[in-house]
Structure formats: structure tokens, C-alpha cells
Amino acid sequence: MKILVINSGSSSIKFQVIDRDTEKMLASGLIERVGLADGRMKYRCGDTKVVVDKAIPDHETGLDLLLQTIVDPEIGALSSLDEIGACGHRVVHGGEKFTSSVLIDDEVLKGLEEVSGLAPLHNPANIMGIRAAIKKLPGIPNVAVFDTAFHQTMPQVNYMYALPYKLYEEYGMRRYGFHGTSHQFVAQRTAEILERPLEELNIITCHLGNGCSVTAVKGGKSIDTSLGYGTFCGLVMGTRSGDVDPAILLDLMENKGWSIEQVKKMVYKESGLLGLSEISMDMRDIENSMFAGNERAKLTFEIFADRVKKYIGSYAATLGRLDAVVFTAGIGENGWELRELICDNMDVLGIELDREANKVKGVEKIVSTPESRVAVLVVPTNEELMIARETARLAV
């Protein structure tokens, strides 16, 4: 049986077809510029890669195109849509309402609409994808898998901000956290690699991609995470600032004539690696400039590493005992120089990196020395596979 995994954004649809039994990805694709005249679909099935340029006015048309493509006699992965047993959807925000993945029905759809205000840029787009799938694949179960759900186990001590309590009660203003699917996947995989029960392990998972977050995972449950109510706090990211003193934002608006829109654009789109370096939002460009002697790139690289190091330190204190630190996502999996800098001088926590073993990109590996009290691992993330597993668990 095959699972169709859909990640529907406001102007894009990412998808994968995954075989439930072998857990192999059979086909994948990205539909971009939905709603615009010059839409595009990039599709891959085995060694076959195609690009289709076509107007895609809405998500339903996008879904039509992807369904036609995956059963195309020439380039398709399936002989018929009947092979699809269920559809798994990434949903960014589940609020406090959704603490784990759910099978979608009318009641759930209503619930999703209710929490949409917490992620106005993402959830409505996710819901559009779900509605399109319900319409185009009638009778096939749909499952919602949330970025926030894994973090719903955080104790209140860790999810509350020290703001007036009524902001939490009236508006749900608290830490939610994101990238939960990825943190959960790599934590589970770490237990398998270390051949120890997940329930016994204290793990810090570092998801370092365009978006970045660190999570403290105790016995398989998230107890703290660096992203919060919105999606720009915590670590330095591609274009997002990470933690800043809110006084700076207030000062810009109060005394420097900045509008709310300008401040918002700055912290989400013009900060992070891009804003600091004035070179690029992409870590590879920062590294290349740094190796070529660019001082600002070096500073940017060092600030990025410093923030990860500080979160690891603080979460080690929260966890009490630390068994493993795991690096994942584009930067975490590939940036070995960065891992080296983050783990440098961490004897205080019992982290001892094997510098030679660490010189790897994109492979699953233990990169600490055999003597290291804390295991350090590189574990490539696979959010789509995690969504497919959750979908199969609930829908089949």
C-alpha cells in the first residue's frame, strides 16, 4: 500500500509517494507558484526527472496535476490511484488542541480552522491542501501530522512566558515549538542506533536547516524547545534573527520611525545568516566566504555556533543527565566544521567529538569518541517518512 504525503504551502505543494511496507520513496515533487500564471512542477521518480511549466491557479489544480503525474504510464510511480491507501498532511500548527496526529473528519477540520490564527501564513495553506485531497481522492483517509504536536508534552514551567498570565488564558500565548516531526524522528532513530530504549535516554536534538531549533527530549518526550510562539526566536536561522532583546524592536518602532511591517520583515526575512553576513542566507556561502578569509562570514559562523552551544548547555541543565546530542537537517547533517565548533570545549558536559569521524556529510553516524560520556550523532532527518508512518498508523 502506498501513502501520499502532502506538504501544502500558500504557493507551493511538496509531495512524496511512499511505500508503507518498504518505507521507500517512490516519487517526489514540488509544485511552485500556485496561484500565479507561471506555475511549475518539478517531479522525480527513480532516475526520471521532469519539469512541467503550467499555470496552476489553485491547490486543486495542483493536486490534479500531481495525481495525473504519479499514474502517468511513462513517468508515473503507480499503475492507478487505487494504490493510494491514505494521504498524510503536514500541518504546521495544532495549538493546544492537537497533541498528536489525527485522522481527519469534519470535526477535526473545524478544529484546524480554529487554531489557524496561531499560524496565519501556514495553516490556511495546509487546510487548502487537505480540502483538495478530500475532493480529488474521495474515500481515501486523510491524516494531519503537526509540527507542534511532539512539543505538547512540555511541562508548563517550560512553555510559559513570564508575561501577564491572562495572555496565555485569553490568546494562547505560550511556547509551542516547531519541527516536532523532525525532532521526534531523529530521537527515535538515535535510540535505535545506540541500541538503547528511547524511554531511558536524555537526548538533545539540533535541527539546523533554513529554520533551526534545539529540543530537549527526555524518555522520548519533548520537554523544552527553542522555537516558541512564533517562528523567529531561539537559534540564528537563514533569515530569522533568533533570540533578540525585544527592547530593540520596541525602540525601532517607538523612536526610529520603523513600522510594524518593517520590523516584522526584518526579524523574519532580513536577519539571521543573511542579515549578519550581508552575504547570503545559505550556510554554504557563509562557509565559502569564511574559508576565503572574509571576517564577517567568520563572525556569522561563530555566532551561529555559539547560540547552538548555549542551548545545548542550558538543555543539559534542564535534562539533568545527557546521553546524546544529535545533529540533523541541511546544516546539521552536512556542516562538519560547524559541528566541530559547537562541540569544541564541551568537556564540562562530557561531550568529546571524534574530529576525524565527524568529517562526514549527510550520513548517519556516531561522531563522538568511544570514551565520550555523551554520544554525538549525525542523523539525516526524514519528515516525510515520519508523516507516512503516522498516516499508516492511524489510517490503515
Interface residues with ligand ADP (CB under 6 A) are 209-211, 238, 282-284, 287, 329-331, 334-335, 361
Are the CB atoms for 56 and 64 separated by under 8 Å? no
How far is residue 143 from each of residues 116, 124, 273, 388, measured CA to CA in Å? 17, 16, 35, 9
Catalytic residue among 147, 224, 245, 354: 147
Grid cell in block for residue 126: 495546509
Tell me the closest approach of the beta carbon of residue 32 to ligand ADP, in angstroms: 14
Residues sharing a CB contact under 8 Å with residue 50, sequence separation 6 or more, in sequence order: 42, 43, 44, 69, 75
Torsion angle of alpha carbons 185, 187, 193, 195, nearest 10°?
-120
Name the burial class of residue 80, with classes exposed (0-12), middle (13-18) and buried (19+) by CB atoms within 10 angstroms of its CB.
exposed
Task: Decide whether 65 or 329 has the Cβ nearer to ligand ADP.
Answer: 329
Task: Decide whether 274 or 325 has the Cβ nearer to ligand ADP.
Answer: 274
Tell me the closest approach of the beta carbon of residue 240 to ligand ADP, in angstroms: 11
Whose CB is nearest to ligand ADP? Answer: 330
Asked if 147 is an active-site residue, the reply is yes
Are the CB atoms for 115 and 148 separated by under 8 Å? no
Task: Decide whether 4 or 283 has the Cβ nearer to ligand ADP.
Answer: 283
Farthest-apart Cα atoms in the chain, separation: 63
Tell me the closest approach of the beta carbon of residue 96 to ligand ADP, in angstroms: 25
Tell me the closest approach of the beta carbon of residue 140 to ligand ADP, in angstroms: 27
- Of 314, 362, 308, nearest to 340 (Cα)? 308
Task: Decide whether 283 or 324 has the Cβ nearer to ligand ADP.
Answer: 283
Tell me the closest approach of the beta carbon of residue 267 to ligand ADP, in angstroms: 17
Task: Decide whether 274 or 394 has the Cβ nearer to ligand ADP.
Answer: 274
List, by residue number, the catalytic residues. 147
